[in-house]
């Protein structure tokens, strides 16, 4: 049957119906079509609105295992003002809800690990703050920049007593197949313990590389109270595309005007 004939038949069926009857008939026969169309329109409007309203990131930071005692949004509002960016065009974001445990391999830990790894690969993350053990775990995997290559002299001087060091020799060893092969003279657990040793002291490391800064005593972190039971370390992600913003965030944490 031609579409025009179907339309004529439908009109004939509803010709003598009341308005309420027509509505009931329409709903009975076309509710699926209506719902599908409404959902499609909603999705189109949502996608278009998100595209129109989307802004490029001027800064993206991650806090691992932070207590939710502060507003990341309020901090980013202050930092946006500190950066002096046009908030109509750019945004800053701090993901302070990332949870990662070295001993509890839960779905939450797995999800955070996968998300972080994916964002590192795409170069989205600029800085990371994490409790010492988690920071060390990622530092061994060469996530963070050598601070001697990215920080100006005044900041290196300011934080010279708060530097977090990782052993370059250990990183080199991790990158060899022999490291993961069992040998009688190879004490894997001793090496693992060395990973989580006192990273303040470069003298105990064969090739100390400064990759982080202990920031627990900085005004922003201490006032936020987000690491009450652990020692937080700040690092600049190696492949950040916004190094200037990352350095300014360290200044912001330190209360510099």
Task: Give pLDDT tens digits for 25-54.
Answer: 555 555 555 455 455 544 544 443 443 446
pTM score:
0.74
Are 35 and 21 contained in the same domain?
yes
What average pLDDT does this structure show over 52-77?
Answer: 90
Nearest to 254 by CA among 82, 133, 63: 82
Are 48 and 95 contained in the same domain?
no
Are 91 and 46 contained in the same domain?
no
Are 115 and 182 contained in the same domain?
yes
Are 31 and 128 contained in the same domain?
no
DSSP string, the chain: --HHHHHHHHHHHHTT--HHHHHHHHHHHHHHHHHHHHHHHHHHHHHHHHHHH--EEEEEEEEES--S-S-HHHHHHHHHHHHT--TTTEEEEEEEEE---SS---HHHHHHHHHHHHHHHTT---EEEEEHHHHHHHHHTT-B--HHHHS-HHHHHHTTTSEEEEEHHHHHHHTSGGGGS--TT--HHHHHHHHTS-TT-GGGSSSEEEEEEE-TTSHHHHHHT--TTS-EEEEEBTT-S-HHHHHHHHHHHTT--
Are 38 and 82 contained in the same domain?
no
d(CA 219, CA 108): 30
Asked whether the predicted pLDDT for residue 12 surpasses 70, the reply is no
What average pLDDT does this structure show over 88-99?
Answer: 93
d(CA 187, CA 179): 10
Specify the higher pLDDT residue, 116 or 40: 116
What is the per-residue pLDDT across 161-179, written as a single tens digit (0 to 9) for each? Answer: 999 999 888 778 766 655 5
Confidence grade of residue 257 (pLDDT, cut at 50, 70, 90):
confident
What is the per-residue pLDDT across 177-201, written as a single tens digit (0 to 9) for each? Answer: 555 454 554 454 455 455 556 788 8
Instruction: Look at the chain and report how many structural domains it folds into.
Output: 2
Confidence grade of residue 82 (pLDDT, cut at 50, 70, 90):
very high
d(CA 198, CA 175): 22
Characterize the bridge pairing of strands 163-167 and 56-64.
unpaired
pLDDT at 44: 46
Are 83 and 118 contained in the same domain?
yes
Give the structural domain span for 108. Answer: 55-253
pLDDT at 152: 97
CATH label of the domain that carries residue 180: 3.40.190.10
Are 157 and 171 contained in the same domain?
yes
What average pLDDT does this structure show over 223-241?
Answer: 95
pLDDT at 188: 45
């Amino acid at each position: 049957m031609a579409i025009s004939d179907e339309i004529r038949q439908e009109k004939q069926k509803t010709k003598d119906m009341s308005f309420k009857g027509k509505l009931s008939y329409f709903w009975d026969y076309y509710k699926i079509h209506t719902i599908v169309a409404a959902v499609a329109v909603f999705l189109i409007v949502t996608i278009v609105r998100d595209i129109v309203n989307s802004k490029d990131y001027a800064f993206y930071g991650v806090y691992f295992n932070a207590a939710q005692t502060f507003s990341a949004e309020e901090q980013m509002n202050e930092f946006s003002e500190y950066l002096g960016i046009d908030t109509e065009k750019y945004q800053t974001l701090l993901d302070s809800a990332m949870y990662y445990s070295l001993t509890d391999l839960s779905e939450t830990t797995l999800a955070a690990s996968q998300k972080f790894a994916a964002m590192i690969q795409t170069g989205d993350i600029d800085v990371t703050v994490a409790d010492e053990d988690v920071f060390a775990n990622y530092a061994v995997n060469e996530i963070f920049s050598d601070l001697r290559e990215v920080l100006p002299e005044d900041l290196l001087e300011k934080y010279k007593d708060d530097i977090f060091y990782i052993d370059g020799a250990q990183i080199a060893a991790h990158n060899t197949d022999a490291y993961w092969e069992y040998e009688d003279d190879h004490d894997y657990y001793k090496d693992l313990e060395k990973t989580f040793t006192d990273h303040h002291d470069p003298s105990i490391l064969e090739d100390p590389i400064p990759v982080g800064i202990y920031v627990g005593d900085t005004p922003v972190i201490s006032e936020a109270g987000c690491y009450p039971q652990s020692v937080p370390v700040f690092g600049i992600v190696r492949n950040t595309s916004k190094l200037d913003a990352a350095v300014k965030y360290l200044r912001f944490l330190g209360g510099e005007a």
